[in-house]
Amino acid sequence: MKACIVGASGYSGQELVRLLTGHPLVELVAVTSRSLAGKSVAEELPALRGQVADMKFAPSSIEEVVALDAEVFFLALPHGTAAEYASPLVEAGKRVIDLSADFRLGSPELYEAYYGQPHPDPELLRKAIYGLPELYELSWEKSPLIASPGCYPTSILVPLVPLLEAGLIETQGIVANSISGVSGAGRQASERFSYCERNESAVAYGLPRHRHLSEIEEQLGLAAGGEVVISFHPHLAPMNRGIASTISVVAKGSPDARAVEDCWAHRYEDRPFAHPLPSGEFPDVAHLVGSNRVDFSVVADQRTGRYVVTSAEDNLIKGAGGQAVQAMNLCAGFDETAGLV
Amino acid sequence: MKACIVGASGYSGQELVRLLTGHPLVELVAVTSRSLAGKSVAEELPALRGQVADMKFAPSSIEEVVALDAEVFFLALPHGTAAEYASPLVEAGKRVIDLSADFRLGSPELYEAYYGQPHPDPELLRKAIYGLPELYELSWEKSPLIASPGCYPTSILVPLVPLLEAGLIETQGIVANSISGVSGAGRQASERFSYCERNESAVAYGLPRHRHLSEIEEQLGLAAGGEVVISFHPHLAPMNRGIASTISVVAKGSPDARAVEDCWAHRYEDRPFAHPLPSGEFPDVAHLVGSNRVDFSVVADQRTGRYVVTSAEDNLIKGAGGQAVQAMNLCAGFDETAGLV
Amino acid sequence: MKACIVGASGYSGQELVRLLTGHPLVELVAVTSRSLAGKSVAEELPALRGQVADMKFAPSSIEEVVALDAEVFFLALPHGTAAEYASPLVEAGKRVIDLSADFRLGSPELYEAYYGQPHPDPELLRKAIYGLPELYELSWEKSPLIASPGCYPTSILVPLVPLLEAGLIETQGIVANSISGVSGAGRQASERFSYCERNESAVAYGLPRHRHLSEIEEQLGLAAGGEVVISFHPHLAPMNRGIASTISVVAKGSPDARAVEDCWAHRYEDRPFAHPLPSGEFPDVAHLVGSNRVDFSVVADQRTGRYVVTSAEDNLIKGAGGQAVQAMNLCAGFDETAGLV
Amino acid sequence: MKACIVGASGYSGQELVRLLTGHPLVELVAVTSRSLAGKSVAEELPALRGQVADMKFAPSSIEEVVALDAEVFFLALPHGTAAEYASPLVEAGKRVIDLSADFRLGSPELYEAYYGQPHPDPELLRKAIYGLPELYELSWEKSPLIASPGCYPTSILVPLVPLLEAGLIETQGIVANSISGVSGAGRQASERFSYCERNESAVAYGLPRHRHLSEIEEQLGLAAGGEVVISFHPHLAPMNRGIASTISVVAKGSPDARAVEDCWAHRYEDRPFAHPLPSGEFPDVAHLVGSNRVDFSVVADQRTGRYVVTSAEDNLIKGAGGQAVQAMNLCAGFDETAGLV
């Protein structure tokens, strides 16, 4: 399968280049970047030296991108910009996997409420599938446009959705705390994200209404069959990659870790990247870096009548590029793990 | 004032040595250590070279310690061991500031439930004061034994206690998440705390019943005038020092950040180390390292009817050695900030 | 090809497990560990969850190891111990790639001088090949025993050997400084290698006669056709992986960066993992982590008549496990890069 | 003594604010910043909350600065800009301690060769003293303008100058390698110095002619009584602060660590911040952070006929703000350590 990455100068784009050049069933025909067009990929992304031969960044005007001889296009672009590419690509009969937020939400209104601008293509929004492979069956037949979920949502939805569907937890009182590595802020020249400011630092940000809250609550609500309103507290910690989420939820009835473990085991028994751990083991970002897995576990707290669910993932792989490749594998009929282990 | 530090080989002890050698009103007459007795302090704690002259670690048998010509004794010892020193010191008419957990709880039963052993001296436990200077008036007259609070409790109690006392928040549904630097685990030879295991890692631990929960809930209950049961989720992140806590609490009535800010301003207007920030600014561990301050702020979340309270401190200063020195300053009638800025 | 890893509990062993389970032409039939025998590999090396199925650590008595149905054995054992396995394995007709120092030196005397004990098998030492694929032609015909080089030597020998062979530099006055990540010290429970001691630290160690000096000087001497004595200064810096070496060498005649670049280009034009950069670009450990490449470049300093050669690599891949797999690929007639990109 | 800091928005400026607000004999009357004029110091430098009361950044036009009621002015400005302030301040009878490179070199020609622009005030350059207190006697009588040395030079000059003066080492073949924390690059919004680029990285830079080379060689030459040309290799490692230097020098005669130790002991016996360690102990940046000390030691290498000298310091204290305060203490007749321990 011939693939193209549109907007490959950031950390998610770079991870996609790495994954797709190593994918046994994919030929990466082009990597575009507005700012780096014409430059050597190996020089601009030196971690990929020796892996990208003499590939150069292609220009990324919409016309040039649409004209590329590729079947699937990964959009690693800012929200707003991604939609500008998705529409003509879908019209031209291409498959699109969008890593931005443009097509993740169910309504243009919610998009506008969280992203501060009218949705750029409400019609196309209706056609897109939320691309979390552990929750939705993905195929090009259902839609040529996969909206690949964000990093925080993946770490929260994979463990919680089955519990809501199974009625094991209440929809009220959910409090999710997440700790993210700094790459989650993207590649940028900014004093705030400079080494000396972020090193030896731990800090909350974006309270109380981080943008990812919109897709988290929408997906939890779909699972629960009704509105779900949660508290979501993102933090930055001094590491390059990874997200660790710790989620406090009220048990229906007396909390029973075994019931949760059984629910997950049943739901995810065939899923290679959703990885429940035994109660008492806590997923550690350090063990997920470089992997497309999301690990998670539960502790029952009889004192509070709550479960504590913890999860961890690599924000640039399961939380971005790896998840997008996983979606492509499923849509294309490849083995789900191709190029991901 | 002549002071002695008992058990100065760990990180809290080292911080105490640093603070007390720089304190303008204190003479540090002895620093004891069972394992390092006779060795040079400067060689064993090389960060203090040039600051401790040719001081040597004194032996730390109980008899030798009690016989030392000092008025105030800081105990930087493991729980259980601290009580063995506190009793004879108090009997000998000495002042004691204990950094361990031995005298922080109100009942021997609670101690046994959380520390897994009978309380070593229930009678003395009744006489001790919980040494959080922002919450309790400390003086040698009230008690010769100050139980200096732990690092996690300080970061949670300083912001929450006034809100419970003022009836601004519910006692139900409190969820506290904390991120700690690795020095919180103490100085130790352990694979788990080796550099390569903790670097690029974020992980929860000690769920659902970390030992510090006992003193947090007890103090919150005293403030609320009734039992308080909370969820407490400690985490480790790759930094040497610091604690960042993010606490979700249910507002009584509609959440109003101003009401919380006013409550804190009123309560802490004269306190040099309790430092509320304006709503919308989030305390960052990076700004607290090396300081005895605890910074905190609030965000009102109308969607959930909750407040999000965030706080940060240096776990080895406001969360250990600095807090103990602050307590001594107050008991001795010194300026509260002496030796701490 | 059926492979076995002997002693897989350390960081190099873990990297080997990762590489060999992903190798398209290798079946990893056993992973042994004295301390972990019978335990789940996924549980003990949790970064490999999902990649090692339900593999368990096999016992590692010499008899049991020799009896394993594998053709090639990777020894990730301490020096001294490795030789105990190499001898019976070679006698039993197995291929052995030893990652320890036991067979890297040309004489038992040199081994004893640097490792403080008589060489455990001088006869076998004579048969081993120094397994740096960029310098030596490796094949099972030449020897069934490959002594895979250490991490520091690789970063110094790959750039310097061609320059000595070509007579571009003097053999006198070579000063090599190296900065290593902490994993170079191995997986261990030690206060010295605890997180808080190594974080925010940079420090020299092992001066003036680190053990790796023996193989560095021996190989440089072989290239120069005479004795070479160098200054070698290893340092630790707070990162998990990687080595950056900066080597000052006296130019023969006026220093000319182009001459060095041409020499490297000629020598390494077909080598996928020896990667010269243009003069003026400096290899950065951050770009090598996860790769089997060693990057290097040169600067000519007319003021001193010296070249400054800088290099970087991942100490656990090109400096350990990856190099061993590369050697196996070449000996087995596989593509040199199989399983390594 | 009334002091003013001109240009306090960077890391060195911030360290000066911290040191001078805690100095028992100094009143910090103004802190200026072009970009932050009118803003709250506590808000812009939040680590100093609680220490700077409600101080605001003063405007920093030359006229306004000269008119300030202060006796000593610390210039924490870029080179070129610093000279614009130094001249009118000195003319106005003020004392000036300049942390930039503008007055460190002996000749305008050398300045132009390394800084790429004509020296802004050659006449004043002749009057300035190189402000390394361990090497030069500092006093306002000798000059009202102290040129405070850079971070790399301090770490190299303090150990080497006595050895050159005593004739213990050759002037040829000196190779100095330094590892710096990232704060050495200053506070800046730059992708290159962003967290994710510098974390898990070690890299050389500025080869072969870093600007600090000019003052290092000039001062070494003055000590040796003749020209000294050295190799100097700066590196960045992932830590906030600190410099570790490892310097290879050729011994005159057979290397003898004791002779070097005696030389240092004699030269520095009364100096509180020059701290030789016994041979075999290596100074570690981790032990210097927060201190104004520079620690150093020597190893004799009989094999190469060289000494290996290692040193470490906090680049923002002994390498910048602390050194400037130390110079002020000496010039003002204060205790050398006032405000520095």
Cα–Cα distance between A224 and A161 in angstroms, integer? 8
- Contact between B22 and D341 using a beta-carbon 8 Å cutoff: yes
Q: Per-residue pLDDT for D330 more than 90?
A: yes
Q: What is the pTM of this model?
A: 0.97
By annotation, the residues of D acting in catalysis are: 151
**Chain A positions with Cβ closer than 8 Å to D:** 11, 182-183, 187-191, 193-200, 238-240
CA-nearest residue of chain C to A45?
A: C287
Residues of C in contact with A314 (CB under 8 A): none
Token pair in block for residue D135: 């090497």
CA atoms within 13 A on the CB side of B251: 20
Contacts of C287 in chain A (CB under 8 A): 46-47, 49
User: What is the maximal distance between C-alpha atoms in chain A?
Assistant: 61
Closest CA to C249 of C167, C143, C193: C167
Contact C195 B190 (CB under 8 A): no
- Alpha-carbon distance of D273 to D325, in angstroms, equals 12
Q: Which residue of C has its CA nearest to B183?
A: C196
How far apart CA A170 and CA B251 sit, in angstroms, is 20
Position B234 scores a pLDDT of 98
C170: helix, coil or strand? coil
Strand partners, A5: A31, A74
pLDDT at position A341 = 86
What residue of A is the nearest CA neighbor of D181?
A: A196
Contact A46 C273 (CB under 8 A): no
* Cβ-Cβ contacts under 8 Å, D307 against chain C: none
For residue A191, which residues of chain D lie inside 8 Å, CB to CB? 187-189
A248: nearest CB among B175, B202, B235: B175
Q: Is B284 in Cβ contact with A208 (below 8 Å)?
A: no
Confidence at residue C152, expressed as pLDDT on a 0 to 100 scale: 98
- Mutation to test the D interface, candidates B25, B40, B285, B341, most D Cβ within 10 Å: B341
Q: Which of A249, A312, A242 minimizes the C-alpha distance to A281?
A: A312
Asked if the Cβ–Cβ distance from C188 to B195 is below 8 Å, we say no
Q: Which of C235, C289, C301 to mutate to test the interface with D (most CBs of D within 10 A)?
A: C235
Q: Is the pLDDT of residue B340 over 90?
A: yes
Does D203 sit within 8 Å of C299, measured CB to CB? Answer: no
- The yes-or-no verdict on residue C266 having pLDDT over 90 is yes
The sheet that has D243-250: what strands, in order across it? Answer: D203-204, D231-236, D175-180, D243-250, D306-313, D294-301, D274-276
Euclidean distance between CA atoms A19 and A317, whole angstroms: 9
- Do C240 and B11 count as a contact with CB atoms less than 8 A apart? no
Annotation marks residue A331 as catalytic: no
Q: Compute the mean pLDDT over every residue in chain C, rounded to the nearest whole number.
A: 97
Concatenating the DSSP letter of every residue in D156-189 gives HHHHHHHHHHTT-B-SSS-EEEEEE-GGGG-S--
Beta-bridge partner residues of D300: D307
pLDDT at residue B341 is higher than 90: no
Contact residues, chain B, for A239 at CB < 8 Å: 199-202, 237-238
Query: Which stretches in chain A have pLDDT values below 70?
Result: none
Nearest CA in chain B to C190: B189
- Helix residue spans in B92-198 (DSSP H): 108-115, 122-127, 151-165, 195-198
Chains touching A (3+ CB pairs < 8 Å): B, C, D
Its ipTM equals 0.96
- Residue A191 φ/ψ region, left for φ over 0, alpha for ψ in the -120 to 50 degree band, beta for the rest: alpha
pLDDT score for D341: 86
Distances, alpha carbon B218 to alpha carbons A108, B33, B158, B165, B225, in Å: 48, 32, 14, 14, 10
Q: Active-site residues of C: which are they?
A: 151
d(CA D174, CA D231): 6
Tokens 């056993």 correspond to: C30
CA closest to B271 among chain D residues: D50
Mean pLDDT, rounded, for C62-66: 96
Residue type, D74: F
Q: What is the DSSP letter of B134?
A: T
Half-sphere exposure for C210 (CA within 13 Å, toward CB): 23
Contacts of A113 in chain B (CB under 8 A): none
**Residue C27, min C-alpha distance to chain B (Å):** 29
Residue B198 has a pLDDT of 98
Q: Closest by alpha carbon to C99, among C18, C173, C154? A: C154
Give the tens place of pLDDT for each residue, B41-74: 999 999 999 899 999 999 999 999 999 999 999 9
CA-nearest residue of chain D to C177? D177
Indicate if the pLDDT at residue B84 is higher than 90: yes
The residue-averaged pLDDT of B122-147 equals: 97
Choose among C319, C334, C274, C317: nearest CA to C72. C334
For C234-264, write each residue's pLDDT tens digit: 999 999 999 999 999 999 999 999 999 999 9
pLDDT of residue C189 exceeding 90, the answer is yes
Chains with 3+ CB–CB pairs under 8 A to C are A, B, D
CB < 8 Å to C51, chain A:
291, 341
**CB-CB contact of D139 with D90 (8 Å):** no
